Amino acid sequence: MPRTNEPAPSRKPWAVLAYTVADDRGGASALDTAAKEELRALCDAADFTHVSVAAQVDFKRPKGVFRGSLTALPPPPTQGFAPVRDENHPLWRKILGDVDDGRSVLKVEAESRDLSAARADVLQTFLSFGHESCPAERYVIYFYGHAYGPMGLFCDRETGQRETDTLRLNDLAGTIRAAGRAAIVVFRDCFMNTLEAAYQLRDAASFMVATQALAPIAGVWPWAKFMGVLDRDKQSSEVARAVGAELAAFLEVSEHRSPFSDVPYSVLDLHQAGALVEPLKALVGAIEVARRDPIQSAACASAIESARTGSPTTPSRPGDPALVDVPTMCESLGALGEGEVAAAARALGEVVSGRLVSWHHSRRARFKGASLFYKPVTARDLRRSYLQAEDEKIAAADAEYYKSLALCRATGWHRVALNPLAVEVGGKK
């Protein structure tokens, strides 16, 4: 194993902390192979003179959790996980062979128990490991796995545990904040580009890169391009937009987004998330007043319905019927006239499109920058949604959690989102 005798700098300009969860509700292990290839590409691309990498992978098969760090710095003492000989593990052996340049130090550890990677304390342990193993001036945190937008990320369980866990947004933000504010959080996870996530993460990260739609497992992301923009002299805003631009170019290639016609991605400036509160709060109040008038209520309902992002089962519109595109919703509501609903919608649209969304790429007009939860009103949409549970017990628990999100507490949006305005569709509500 390569070791360097030269003194290493105390902190690198950048470190990438990658948290991959290949588990899911099903019995298949389709994410395992994709996760391995992604991790190898990430480590292959790193220039260890100015970037360190720490990664934790929870595979479907084999059971157990592996984590490793690649850095020019000596690794800190092991805590919790047991060290393993990387040459005895095929994935880490391949990574070591690819980066055997005499400058990097590889540390590999394993936890033989099948931990639930969707638990906040498991993520917290990894982030602490990453910060200790890879001290840096700025951090990129990369998440890879299944997600349900405002309802949370991942679906995992411990050995012997029957119920699955989901990492909720409040726990996600709390663990990142406790480890130290991230410069950029990147999600290769479905539906994470929402106002709920942006507002929850506003004190945990400066920028987030995420999609409003499904994030396909096809193709290994262009990590060499990403690493190339991690420049000490660039502002985090420049780096985030450069990552977005490289990702957009990658997703323009059809096989990289297969089977979808569009995989929209945005860069959100989380410094601007606080500006969402007043216009969204005003919109909630105006909509609640409009409910009392059947004509106004129907007009608002139709405007919001027009902004639903699509369905996971529709490759041409791979959104979710429980999400609305915020700029589209604001445009539709803003066109209703000069009343309070229209005024509040236009104000919200200006904040989202003009300030929060720092960069956006989409091949379809359906996606314009950021989404927001709005419960489906038709049986068909309820069946198709990945976010809105059909099971009443699960749906009730999700609703209570949703009310607790920081955006809902600050604006009351849950009063609209969980009790949508009824709209006639084919003669049925």
pLDDT at position 67: 67
Q: Where are the alpha helices (DSSP H) in 4-29?
A: none
Measured CA angle at 32 (ends 26, 33), to 5 deg: 130
Q: What is the pLDDT of residue 211?
A: 97
Contacts of 23 (CB under 8 A, 6+ apart): 31, 58, 59, 60, 117, 145, 154, 155, 156, 157
Alpha helices, H only, 134-253? 169-179, 195-200, 223-228, 236-251
Q: Cα–Cα distances in Å, from 304 out to 92, 257, 276, 366, 372?
A: 49, 28, 18, 13, 11
Q: 13 with 72: CB under 8 angstroms?
A: no
> Tens-of-pLDDT digits for all 429 residues of the chain?
334 444 444 689 999 999 988 754 444 455 556 777 787 788 778 777 788 888 888 765 555 566 667 665 545 555 555 554 544 455 555 555 555 554 445 555 656 566 777 889 989 999 998 998 889 999 999 999 889 999 999 876 555 555 667 899 999 999 999 999 999 999 999 999 999 999 999 999 999 999 999 998 777 899 999 999 999 999 999 999 999 999 999 999 999 998 899 999 999 999 999 999 999 999 999 999 999 999 999 999 999 999 999 999 898 899 999 999 999 999 999 999 889 999 999 999 999 999 999 999 999 888 999 999 999 999 999 999 999 999 999 999 999 999 999 999 999 999 999 999 976 444 444
Query: What does the pLDDT read at residue 216?
Result: 87
pLDDT at position 426 is 43
How open is the CA angle 51-55-233, to the nearest 5 degrees?
20
pTM for this one?
A: 0.88
